Amino acid sequence: MQMEELYTTAQMELAKDLVFEIEGEPVTLSIKGVLIARVKSKSYNFSFFELSENEFVLAVQMKGFTVYLGIEANEELNEEAYPEVVRILIEHLTPQIALLVTKAEKSYLGKADILLDDDMSPEMKEFFYSLLVRHRKGELIYEQTEVA
């Protein structure tokens, strides 16, 4: 598979603005970045990274890949709303993420690539390129900052 197919799939399926009602108010969530990375685990999982009051990254792991979605909200989100936001996004975006992963699993040979960079803020861009470098070097993504 050519990388162009993955780029096209990310553009067609994930480059969009999503409008949801969160805590009784309409909120627009814009997908600004998509990164796909090969991982050793075949399990299903997700992670949430807060970058600012209105920017965050949702990472969804499936079938040996992690797809990172850089998302910007049109307004500041309260921390209490995060569980609802994550639930809504996973519920809504799982089919598109699964399609991207299914295409990648067939013939993608790379370690990690940014598939969408749609006017990301400097903070989000720094986060994405840091992830890209770590995945390509085979380094751990999560840093343990406290003694377990």
Residue 144 lies in a domain: no
Specify the pLDDT at position 147: 53
Low-confidence residues in the chain, pLDDT < 70 = 1, 142-148
β-strand partners of 114: 35
CA distance 82 to 51: 13
Specify the pLDDT at position 118: 85
CA distance 84 to 43: 23
Upper half-sphere CA count for residue 23 (Cβ side, 13 Å): 11
Specify the pLDDT at position 35: 95
Specify the pLDDT at position 44: 94
If one counts the domains in the chain, the total is 1
Specify the pLDDT at position 24: 85
Domain span at 13? 2-137
Residue 145 lies in a domain: no
Specify the pLDDT at position 45: 93
In this structure, are residues 69 and 85 in contact, taking their beta carbons and an 8 Å threshold?
no
Residue 21 lies in a domain: yes
Residue 147 lies in a domain: no
Residue 142 lies in a domain: no
Specify the pLDDT at position 143: 60
CA 93 to chain centre: 10
**Type and span of the H or E element at 98:** helix 82-107
